[in-house]
Amino acid sequence: MTSKKLVNTVAGCADDALAGLVACNPSLQLLHGHRVALRSDLDSLKGRVALLSGGGSGHEPAHAGFIGKGMLTGVIAGAVFTSPAVGSILAAIRAVAQAGTVGTLLIVKNYTGDRLNFGLAREQAQAEGIPVEMVVIGDDSAFTVLKKAGRRGLCGTVLIHKVAGALAEAGVGLEEITKRVSAVAQAMGTLGVSLSSCSVPGSRPTFELAADEVELGLGIHGEAGVRRIKMASADEIVTLMLDHMTASSNVSHVPVRAGSSVVLMVNNLGGLSFLELGIIADAAVRALEGRGVKIARALVGTFMSALEMPGISLTLLLVDEPLLKLIDAETTASAWPNVAKVPVTGRKRSRAAPAEPLEASVSTTAGGLTSKRVVLVLERVCATLLGLEDHLNALDRAAGDGDCGTTHSRAARAIQGWLKEGPPPASPTQLLSKLSLLLLEKMGGSSGALYGLFLTAAAQPLKAKTDLPAWSAAMDAGLEAMQKYGKAAPGDRTMLDSLWAAGQELQAWKSPGASLFQVLTKAVQSAEAAAEATKNMEAGAGRASYISSARLDQPDPGAVAAAAVLRAILEALQSPGV
């Protein structure tokens, strides 16, 4: 079965993609009749060296995203994963020559088709009297034994674009640029790893991986790598990659050792989430610095992809100060990141959090809580929520991401950890305030924010008194805050439905002689009934409001969780010895 792609036609997808980039970037132009993009200010390059690169499409933003002042003059694109046509390469060379450039450097990734087609175009251009040189970039560090074809050209090629572009912008001649970038290319290495393959438009995935496997040392055309390894943590994968890239026994290694200064490039191969990319970047920085390697610059993003491949590549380039100046030189290329011109290593990465204000002493009047009672109640609540994790997640899948149980379990574990640190405050105000801060920080999601709001507001009426009417007022204050900021109302199929029903029953505490347990029991029963009733409600707030009511035939998980918390509180308070 072929993969789904958002294209107009398979045959025209490369043309459409390049046209889209040019349409949105006034500094680029297409060369009529060819799949070629050029700087729109070619005339400004008179007397300078032109830089042309390219290859198959499907590697976006490479190569056209790196056209601009201080980088490439133009690119020639082939069909997806296919070398560009000789005629188009030659047309691009002629176009920049006619603009008055003094020579052209072709920057070519080391693949047979690219070498042949760019090489043939170079020979023809030279026969026409156009000065043209060519550098072939092979930065792949996957192969421990050198193949006849040499090292493949990977994401490190982008760094060559940058160095060559800075030199050309500075007015350096063709021969000198060729010599210098050839030397730079020998001081870098790249290694990729992927969780699965990619698929060319109109085709099936290029290879298959088991659920517990990842591919190490793969190229950028969907081809398999040098070996398959078992799925592991990000830290373990990065360590394995760096070990492989820098091992002296590997003929294609990059000689990075303690004391080396490098540019680190963390490249998304196309389908990795930005969350995972950040985790990989952090792991790479920690691993390199742990080996005594100085990271002079770090580039993180998508630079050279392989369509939608969910993987990454790491590139290491050994640098000194003169080379760093070329990396730091200004460029208008749209895909080059805004990199800080300061070293990564040695920078302070955190600052102390502001100190919390000293708590005012709050007297514990009648109705105050003993630490033992608080601990027993909270432990019962935590155990209840942990036991409901799978059930709440199952209920939540009908309305979206299925993490309600996970969120509440996270809160329960945070409370359990807090209780181990020492006895909780006996003051109801301080207790609710502490729980609010804890849930806001640890629980996450809208549930954490709503419970935090509820507890913060509920703590205020308990500053002066802690009798039953004050607890009823606390419930009112918490519900009011939830409605004010959460924008939900009773009947909207949210956690508020359970809490609102309980709050209505707790109004009875405001009457003289009201019974703690009789009223609380009725409140819990009302909350449970309200939670069950949410399965017949149409969602008016929260993520479930975006789902058709016809698909919501189960109770709202937030309402179920809130009712369960109230039941746990009641049962804990009724336990012997509390």
> Tell me, what amino acid is at 270?
G
- Please state the pTM of the whole predicted model: 0.76
| Total residue count of the chain as it appears in this document | 578
Question: Is the Cβ–Cβ distance between 382 and 389 less than 8 Å?
Answer: no
Do the bridges between strand 103-109 and strand 261-268 make them parallel or antiparallel, or are there none, so unpaired?
unpaired
Which token pair is 511? 């009457």
Output the known binding site: 56-59, 109, 114
Shared-domain flag, residues 193 and 293: yes
The answer to whether the peptide bond before residue 34 is cis (omega within 30 degrees of 0) is no
Q: What is the pLDDT of residue 552?
A: 60
108: in domain: yes
Residue 335 lies in a domain: no
At residue 87 the predicted structure's pLDDT band, cuts being 50, 70 and 90, is: very high
Q: Which residues make beta-bridge pairs with 216?
A: 193, 227
Looking at 313, 328, 343, the residue that finishes a domain is 328
Q: Report how far residue 208's alpha carbon sits from residue 534's, in angstroms, rounded to the nearest whole number.
A: 44
* Boundary residue ending a domain (265, 296, 328): 328
pLDDT surpassing 60 at residue 548: no
Q: What distance in Å separates the CA atoms of residue 293 and residue 289, rounded to the nearest whole number? A: 5
* 363 is a domain residue: no
Contact predicate 116/72, CB 8 Å: no
Mean pLDDT of 510-526: 95
Interval 498-513 mean pLDDT: 95
541: pLDDT confidence band, cut at 50, 70 and 90?
low
What integer is the mean pLDDT of 341-350?
94
Asked if residue 317 and residue 449 are part of one domain, the reply reads no
* pLDDT-wise least confident of 250-259, 277-286, 438-447: 438-447
The number of domains in the chain is 2
Is the pLDDT at 322 greater than 60? The verdict is: yes
61: preceding bond cis by omega (within 30 degrees): yes
**376 shares its domain with 314:** no
Residue ranges of the annotated binding site for substrate are: 56-59, 109, 114
Nearest to 109 by CA among 91, 135, 81: 135
Domain boundary among 308, 328, 348: 328
* Alpha carbon distance 121, 78 (integer Å): 14
Residue written as token pair 């760019």: 118
Q: Which of 199-208, 398-407, 517-526 has the highest mean pLDDT?
A: 517-526
N- to C-terminal Cα distance for the chain? 64
Q: Are residues 317 and 375 in the same domain?
A: no
DSSP letter (8 states) at residue 65: G
pLDDT of residue 137: 97
* Integer Rg of the chain from CA: 32
Taking Cα atoms as reference points, which of 27, 92, 26 lies closest to residue 55?
92
pLDDT value at position 546? 42
Residues involved in catalysis: 221
Q: 368 pLDDT exceeds 60?
A: no
Tell me, yes or no, whether 100 and 218 share the same domain: yes
DSSP classification of residue 203: S
Same domain, 24 and 132: yes
Domain extent, residue 560, equals: 369-574
Residue 539 has pLDDT above 70, yes or no: no
Q: What is the DSSP letter of 541?
A: S
Question: Is 7 part of a structural domain of the chain?
Answer: no
- The average confidence (pLDDT) of the chain is 92
Pick the more confident residue, 362 or 470: 470
Give the mean model confidence (pLDDT) for residues 434-448: 91
Same domain? 275 vs 378: no
Any domain includes 402: yes
CATH number at residue 75: 3.40.50.10440
The mean-pLDDT minimum among 342-346, 368-372, 395-399, 568-572 falls in: 368-372
Reported confidence tier of residue 371, pLDDT bands at 50, 70, 90? confident
Number of H helices, E strands in the chain: 17, 12
Residue 542 reports pLDDT greater than 60: no
Residue 344 lies in a domain: no
* CATH number assigned to the domain comprising residue 562: 1.25.40.340
**267 and 211 inside one domain:** yes
The per-residue pLDDT for 291 is 97
Asked whether residue 162 falls in the same domain as residue 271, the answer is: yes
Residue 353 lies in a domain: no
Judge whether 342 lies within some domain: no
